[in-house]
Amino acid sequence: MKKKTTGSTSRRRKRETQRGLVRKTNAELAQLEDKSDWKRVEALTDEDIERAIEDDPDAAPVLDEAFWRNAQILDPRHEKSTITMRVDDDVLDFFKRGGAGYQSRMNAVLRAYVYARRERAR
């Protein structure tokens, strides 16, 4: 008997299929051939890796002293409004992958943007 899916699950699977995503079980993944070029990876120097990170627009920022110098403590006790907002699927998926609290993380990013724009306007 086929397991019944909820509407949101079937919509998510439809989006995944449209984007060319394929679901695999752990057993199926274990059967796949490893095509990683481990010799090339092992031959990389620290400088090669650092250069690749600098060239990667998706790389997380380096959490060095300069990063924390501009950090600000944000007060989370603001009154909130419930809204409906259209967001690109990949953006929503990015935040949801972080688990529970994804809406709060999205709000924090928007708040940081507001603070940055206010600082620039000064």
Distance (Å) of CA 6 to CA 21, 22, 68, 84, 97: 19, 19, 43, 21, 19
SS (H, E, C) 33-82: CCCCCHHHHHHCCHHHHHHHHHHCCCCCCCCCHHHHHCCCCCCCCCCCCC
Using DSSP's 3-state secondary structure scheme, residue 18 falls into helix
pLDDT of 6-46, one tens digit each?
A: 667 777 777 777 777 788 889 999 999 999 999 999 999 99
Q: How confident is the model at residue 88 (pLDDT cuts 50, 70, 90)?
A: very high
pTM above 0.85? no
pLDDT of 60-75, one tens digit each?
A: 777 788 888 877 776 7
Q: What is the DSSP letter of 20?
A: T
